[in-house]
Structures are given as structure tokens and as C-alpha cells.
Amino acid sequence: MKTIVIAIGGNSLIKDAKHMSVPDQYAAVVETARHIADLVEKGFHVVITHGNGPQVGFILLRSEHSRGLLHPVPLDSIGADTQGALGYQIQQALGNEFRRRGLKKLAASVVTQTLVDRNDPAFAKPSKPIGQFYTRKEAEERMRVEQWTMVEDAGRGWRRVVASPKPLRIIEADVVKKLVKDGYVVIAAGGGGIPVTADEQGNLSGAAAVIDKDLASAVLAKEIAADLLVISTAVEKVCLNFGKPGQRALDSMTITEARQYISEGHFQPGSMLPKIQACVQFLENGGREALITTPEVLPAALSGKTGTRIVP
């Protein structure tokens, strides 16, 4: 039976500005769990990865408000915190859904580390904005006291930026593979995994960085020899000229076509671009097929009725 890695976005768990609380996020998780349970019921082995951008932002904001009262939380620990919290919600929602359907399945979350190169050029040029906006005066103080790198963001204020290094290896990939083989639905590599670097002896330590969860999902999919990488997003199909005259939805594309569309600027950085790049990376490393679509149509997309397929 096929093994599928499904990447769901952290933003997809927040419907709108009025539904950002933990119960609201759990309600969104319950919805997604139903679509994933459909696949499990069909006999697929499923590994779930997830984003954590908004959730990391919430923790950073709480840390800001408790400034002077409590110690700050390092970014790698925040990544671990969100993996635990979101993993707990996903595994609980899946467990309840399996029980409702009479499926004898268990879901398990794995706190996952992702190896990055400590000499990755991204560390010299932090570019990923995180957390809240600050005034110039506040930003200057953070840069001086916290040694943060901060940038002015399109007239909206100043934000902290951190490195977004390339994921090289999922440390717990063998654990995930073993759990899948034993029949578990696994939640892993949340938020792209906790970025870690290795010293000469192979000892790991956390890094103040953020890893793209789609690229990390592609690495995990390769390492567990998944048959299919599914990237869940807000649109049913990938479009050329998205939001412009001449918008065209794609049923499929090859690696060569994907590269051409990237060079023509069809996909936006921080939006569709990393998703396409992750699919291409997975296929270049031996993957058979990738799929981009919304959670609601996952079963139909896997049957070839919708979604955008990327093939070698």
C-alpha cells in the first residue's frame, strides 16, 4: 500500500482574524482530520507534516508581553512547543475520527529535528520575518540588547528576521519509518522540524532559524521512501497568472515545465513557490509523484479527478 506524506499549513488552521484561539484551531484540525481519515480508510499509510508560522508568532508575542517577568524562550524551543501542541491536537482529532469510524488505527506525534549546515549562507543573511512589528526605537533596542537582526517591513514597522537554511536530513526519519511500517499514522517535522546543527563529533544543538515546512516535507518523504508527496494549500489547483487576466489552472506539470513556470515568475515567494520547489526536489530525489490541492478534495485528487499533479 502507498505511503503518502501530507503537508498541511499552519495558516490553514486559522480560518480568519476572529477564529485564532486554540479551540478555533482545534475545530479546523477536526475538519482536516476527516479528510485524512478518508485516506487512511482507503488503506493508505499516512504521514502528516504541518506548518507553525502563526503559532510561533503567538508564542513570541506572549514572550514579549512577559518581558522582564520571565526568561525569553529560544526559537528552537518554540518550534518544539508548537510541534507538541499541534501534534497533540492532530493526533487527538484523528484518534476520535478513527474511533467514530471503527478504524483500529492510532496516530502518534514525533518531536522532530531537522539537520541544517551551520555554514549555510542563510545564517549570514537572515531573511525570514517572524513575530510582531516594532517601532524604530524598539527595534534599535532589540538589536542592541538581544542581538537580533531586524528590517523595516514595507512601512508597517520593524520585524525580526531569522535564517531559513536548507533542510538536509530529518534526524528522526528512521523512527517515522518504523512507526509507519507498524501501522501508525505519524505526525512529524512540524514547522519544518526544529533546526539543528552538528559539530565535528556529530553532537546536535538547536539553531535560531526557521525551516520551510514544504522543503522539509520533501526531505522526509524522500527519507522514508514515500510514494507520494501531497502539499495541502488554499487552492484546488495550481494556477498560472494567478489573480491576473488569463489565469489558468493546471491539471499536471512535469519537472521541466515547473522549472519553466518558476523562471517566468508565475509562483510567489512565501506562497506557491516553495511548494512547487518542494515537489520538484522530491521528484529529483527519486519520488514518483507530487500533488498540490486543498484538504477538502484530497480523496478526489488522489483518484485523479482534481488537484495539480507534478511528475518526473
Domain identity same for 109 and 17: yes
Domain identity same for 226 and 261: yes
What pLDDT, in 10s, does the model give residues 175-216? 999 999 999 999 999 999 999 999 999 999 999 999 999 999
Q: What backbone torsions phi and psi does residue 136 show, to the nearest 5 degrees?
A: -60, -40
Based on the structure, what is the number of domains in the chain?
2
9 given a catalytic annotation: no
Which of 9, 10, 131, 192 is labelled catalytic? Answer: 10
Under 8 Å between Cβ of 25 and 13: yes
Distance CA 277, CA 218 (A): 9
Q: Is the pLDDT of residue 220 over 80?
A: yes
Domain that holds residue 194: 3-118+167-311
What is the pLDDT at residue 203?
Answer: 98
Domain identity same for 76 and 11: yes
Has this prediction a pTM greater than 0.75? yes
128 given a catalytic annotation: yes
Domain identity same for 217 and 142: no
Domain identity same for 97 and 158: no
What pLDDT, in 10s, does the model give residues 85-130? 999 999 999 999 999 999 999 999 999 999 999 999 999 999 888 8
Q: Residue 257: how many CA atoms within 13 Å on its side-chain side? A: 13
Domain identity same for 33 and 136: no
Which of 79, 87, 190, 213 is labelled catalytic? Answer: 213
Which of 177, 222, 237, 275 is labelled catalytic? Answer: 275
Domain identity same for 155 and 188: no
Under 8 Å between Cβ of 241 and 299: no
Of the candidates 187, 162, 166, the one whose C-alpha atom is nearest the C-alpha of residue 76 is 162
Which of 2, 11, 166, 206 is labelled catalytic? Answer: 11
* Residues above pLDDT 70, as percent of the chain: 100
Query: Facing residues of 73 across strands?
Result: none
Distance CA 16, CA 18 (A): 5
- Of 306 and 130, more confident: 306
Cα torsion for 28, 184, 233, 305, to the nearest 10°?
A: -110
Give the range among 68-77, 147-156, 250-259, 303-312 with minimum mean pLDDT: 147-156
Which of 52, 128, 190, 192 is labelled catalytic? Answer: 128
Taking phi over 0 as left and psi of -120 to 50 as alpha, with beta for the rest, 147 belongs to left
The mean pLDDT value of the chain amounts to 93
- Find the CATH number of the domain harbouring 303: 3.40.1160.10
10 given a catalytic annotation: yes
Q: Is the pLDDT of residue 12 over 80?
A: no
Looking only at the bridges linking them, the beta strands covering 113-115 and 169-170 are antiparallel
What pLDDT, in 10s, does the model give residues 134-166? 899 989 998 998 889 999 877 888 999 999 999
What pLDDT, in 10s, does the model give residues 231-262? 998 899 999 988 888 899 999 999 999 999 99
Domain identity same for 202 and 108: yes
Which is it for the CA torsion 21, 146, 196, 270, positive or negative? positive
Domain identity same for 131 and 183: no
Mean pLDDT across 16-45: 91
Domain identity same for 285 and 172: yes
Domain identity same for 281 and 300: yes
275 given a catalytic annotation: yes
Domain identity same for 260 and 187: yes
